[in-house]
Structure 1
Amino acid sequence: MGLMGIHHVAIISQDYARSRRFYVDLLGLEVIDENYRAARDSYKLDLRLPCGARIELFSFTDAPPRPSYPEAQGLRHLAFAVADIEAAVAYLESHQVAVEPIRVDEYSGQRFTFFSDPDALPLELYQVTAGV
Structure 2
Amino acid sequence: MCAKTNDQLLLESVHHFAIICSDYQRSKTFYTQLLGFSVIRETYRADRDSYKLDLKINENTQIELFSFPNAPKRPSYPEAQGLRHLAFATRNLDENVKYLRGQNVVVEDVRLDELTGKRFTFFADPDGLPLELYEQ
Q: TM-score, normalised by structure 2?
A: 0.92
2:115 corresponds to 1:107: yes
Query: Partner of 1:92 in structure 2?
Result: 100
Give the superposed CA RMSD: 0.8
Q: Answer yes or no: is the 8 Å Cα contact 1:13–1:61 preserved in 2.
A: no
**Aligned 8 A contact 1:24 1:31 in 2:** yes
Where does residue 70 of structure 2 map in the other structure?
62
Give the number of the structure whose alpha-carbon radius of gyration is greater: 2
- Could you tell me which residue of structure 1 aligns to residue 32 of structure 2? 24
Match of 1:117 in 2: 125
TM-score by length of 1: 0.95
Counterparts of 2:49 and 2:69, CA distance in 1 = 9
- Identical aligned residues as a percent: 60
Is residue 15–residue 61 contact of structure 1 (8 Å, CA) maintained in 2?
no
Runs of 4+ in 1 over 2 A off after TM superposition: none
Give 3-state SS (helix, strand or coil) of 2:95's partner: helix
Amino acid at match of 1:61: P
Q: Which runs of 5+ in 2 are unaligned?
A: 1-8
| Structure 1 range deviating more: 61-70 or 29-38 | 61-70
Which residue is equivalent to 1:75? 83
Q: Which moved more, 1:44-53 or 1:104-113?
A: 44-53
Maintained 8 Å contact 1:44/1:58: yes
SS of match in other structure, 2:55: strand
Range 112-121 or range 46-55, more displaced = 46-55
1:46 corresponds to: 54
**In the TM superposition, what is the alpha-carbon distance from 1:30 to its structure 2 partner?**
1.1
